[in-house]
Structure 1
Amino acid sequence: MKIGVPKEIKIGEYRVGLTPESVAEIVSHDHEVLVETGAGAGIGCGDDSYRDAGAVVVANVAAIYEGAELIVKVKEPEEAERRLLTEKHVLFTYLHLAPDPVLTKDLLNSGAVCIAYETITDDHGHLPLLAPMSQVAGRMAIQAGANALEKACGGRGVLLGRVPGVRPAKVTVVGGGVVGESAIETAIGLGAEVTVLDPNLELLERLAKRFGWGLRTVKTNRSAIASSVAESDLVVGAVLIMGATTPKVVTRQMVAAMRPGSVVVDVSIDQGGCFETSRPTSHASPTYVEEGVVHYCVVNMAGAVPWTATYALNNATLPYVLQIADEGYRAALLSSPHFLSGLNVHHGCLTEPSVAREQKLAFMQPEVALAR
């Protein structure tokens, strides 16, 4: 199979779909890899490192889409890239379709097969290809929040780290999944006073056992969210519903009740955000102030640490890339219901139920779509 790796063009995105090491592994399976020139520059890997791994480096993105069957990316294709997709292509990347009807429409019209990293599951109901980026984003949420709390950045002038004789900063994490747990670990490590809210009591029990008395666990309800948010210096939104738009669990009224100069970091923004006051931002202009509160809502947070993020992502994605290349996408998807759950679009058919429901589009079971 011919596999294409285009250069990412989303603003502030420096990750790349495949590392040279991944390319070498794929080439050892007798597949051909086409890499757009400069694709690995953001992780410090020049064209020669890809040539040495066995890739063919091509001059532009058009050559990638013209020559490759399987396109491996990191972020959803921008409008210019979507115009290059055809029915011969299998696109394997993060898609986050639910909050973006235009992207959904363009992918349906392209005729391509689109497999989303973020909806592939495992035997335990987890999201193995989303997890590494969630771990990165959770840690970065505390880092970004700490920076935004500085007075020069518009914040209250609160240090997230603990100082003797001064009350510690208060951090609330809404959602105790992979993002939330990583944020908790980092915030506690700095010495902050941390509260996590989640509806799942078993999850809260596990987090309580892991972090002990350093973590306050609260079952989610509207009143609990409101009181925790109001008293916090930093609130991290880490809510996820697979494939669906994130519910706005933190209202504008709750944000307005926070002290001026407090900070919210909405890691859920890729799926629409969990604060009513959230709107997408970029690394070039990451924050804005709403209701007196600094908002950090960068849609591709992990793009700021591309070396770490790319290698973490490739650890998870490479086995799936190899399976698609070795077996063909149909056989690979049908080999496991967990892999099949990653199929979002198939030759003009929408096969992700949450997206179909939210965007009021026709839905087709993925097994039926593959059988056509």
Structure 2
Amino acid sequence: MDHQKFLQFLYMSESDSVDFKRDQYKISNATDDDKSEFIKDILAMTNSWRKTEAYILLGIKDKSEKPNDIFGINEHVDDAVFQQLINSKTNKPCIFNYETHTFQNKTFGLFRIPVQSRPIFLKKDFGKLKANIVYVRRGSATFNAGIDEISQMGQPIIDDPKLPKLKLSFFNPESEVKHEEIIKYTLKPFSILDSIPELKRDYSILPSSNINKKYYEELFDYYNFQYRFAKINFLLENVGNSEGKNIEINIEILESNFEICQEGDEPQEPFEDDLLSQSKISYYPPESDLTIKRRNNKISILSLIESLHSKNNIELEGTIYIDPQFSREINLYCKIFCDKIEKPFEQLLKIHFIHSMEKIIWADFLDKMTSK
């Protein structure tokens, strides 16, 4: 957040779209009752009736005489912790992000909550909160929404017929099936119980200097890749009534301890001849709309699309491969920018992985792969 906008909050009062908290939420080593205070505030703000982005600021106390009192916060909680705490419990993804801002040598927490599909509620009781109750913020207080109010939440708050409206989905190019918010994969990679041998050949057939001794290791990586990695493809849609131009897609993955690569980086089938194996550097990967960027322990998937007509869709060229390492859920935080739109379209996409290892001896693995 820029410094000027932060200063404006010091002269604002609490409302449907602004809330102030004196302290950081109790998350680390906290009880479920303590954690539920954070969840309730985010859900209430998400379900509030507003046409603008909402904010919850930590380290500031609202008061009638302005500016507001500033205290700052001492404890930092990672955005991924907040995301996991809420989005593992709700009926649909709740889109928000958390960041910090420094002012007068003090650190402040800031939650941004865009306008999004509602209602969002808990699937199960948690702490002080009840399942299937829709919490909504009105003014500076939180209430339980009634049936009539909940029924109206399904209607869009903003519907400008002159603007593009862009939406990203998972897509299976083989079956041509679209998955809107969540996709599931079952992965069962192989683990060799004994050891993978070096390649040995009759030197009269192939000179010893030309033998690719790592041939079997490379062959294992080549065959096992399809069992380790899930193939991720995307579909971009324009459901608005105007053409989207100069579209920029930014997908952030905050989780750690997983592997990711893109089409063209997957292992190639190895050669027994080392000279032929080394010649693989001349391989040219296919064209792709997707690029992976690694920066400051964050992974981003970027894409630039020149234009997309109203009511049309386009499959993004290229495939992303993800190895989750274990059973888990990985969140993709998506922002889509384009001309005519002041603020990006924001989405949360989820990948649910079921992961297990198939242990096997080398001879059986080789027989299994080569007998196909």
Please indicate, yes or no, whether the TM-score normalized by the shorter chain is above 0.5: no
Between Structure 1 and Structure 2, the one with more helix by share is 1
Could you tell me the TM-score, scaled by structure 1's length?
0.23
